[in-house]
Copies of this chain bind each other. A is one copy, B any other.
Amino acid sequence: MDPSITSPRLFVHAALGPGAGIVATPAQAHHLGTVLRRGPGDAVRLFNGADGEWSARIAALRRDRCELAVGARLRAQAPEPDLWLAFALLKRDATDLVAEKATELGVAALLPVITGRTQAARVNRERLEAIAIAAAEQSERLTVPLVAAPVTLAALLADWPAGRALVVAMERQGAPGVAPARGPAGLLIGPEGGFSAAELDLMGRHAFVVAASLGDRILRAETAAIVGLALMQAPAGV
């Protein structure tokens, strides 16, 4: 494996440039020192969602305090998929899995949604953001997805931006398969019990809604999210 991709990657909020000094978060310091057993002089990589990816060295590391000295730029910031994932809130483990896998698959935003059959109405956004950051660090992407506050399905539809398709995964409705996205798009995954008739009717009144099927099988909601994102990003012409 290329050694340049084996050094730990950290997401930071500070601006990145040659010679910059960065203070890692206590959690990052703990991870580097205690979990990964790294120390002063060891290489890391940094990204902040805006300035690309930079090499850096650990300048000082003591328990939960770590200072990093930025070196050279490794990659310029580059466009990432303009794909959002809206999903009816699931139980905690499933929600965590969705946040992690959707981040690996490159989504720009995670939008938790409350529907009639949603089992949960709250979500710990800080927890989801931490999961998204960890997944972004591991997956080589240069951004971290936005984690939105939960909204009702009605609000999601009312506030959906013009010009962005919303692909809604529907079971047993005879919808065509999910097609690769062309342009800005979102995927909406419903709750385990499916959408209510009133919700299906409401969605049908919006021209940006595209009903789509993930196949004949019954998938758990978290699996449907992963499969739908994979299909929407399949290379055209496959």
A residues contacting B by CB (< 8 A) are: 1-2, 97, 101, 104-106, 138-141, 172, 177-180, 193-194, 215, 217-220, 223, 226-227, 230-231, 233-235, 238
Asked if B177 and A235 make an inter-chain contact with CB atoms under 8 angstroms apart, the answer reads yes
CB distance from A91 to the nearest CB of B (A): 14
CB distance from A163 to the nearest CB of B (A): 23
Asked if B231 and A238 make an inter-chain contact with CB atoms under 8 angstroms apart, the answer reads yes
Copy count, this protein chain: 2
Q: Which of B178, B220, B238 contacts A179 (CB 8 A)?
A: B238
Q: Which of B104, B217, B234 contacts A219 (CB 8 A)?
A: B104
- The complex places the Cα of A215 from the Cα of B104 at a distance, in Å, of 11
Asked if A104 and B217 make an inter-chain contact with CB atoms under 8 angstroms apart, the answer reads yes
Asked if B177 and A234 make an inter-chain contact with CB atoms under 8 angstroms apart, the answer reads yes
CB distance from A68 to the nearest CB of B (A): 22
Asked if B231 and A105 make an inter-chain contact with CB atoms under 8 angstroms apart, the answer reads no
Give the top 8 A-B pairs by smallest Cβ distance, nearest first. Answer: A177-B235, A227-B230, A230-B230, A140-B218, A226-B226, A139-B218, A104-B223, A177-B238
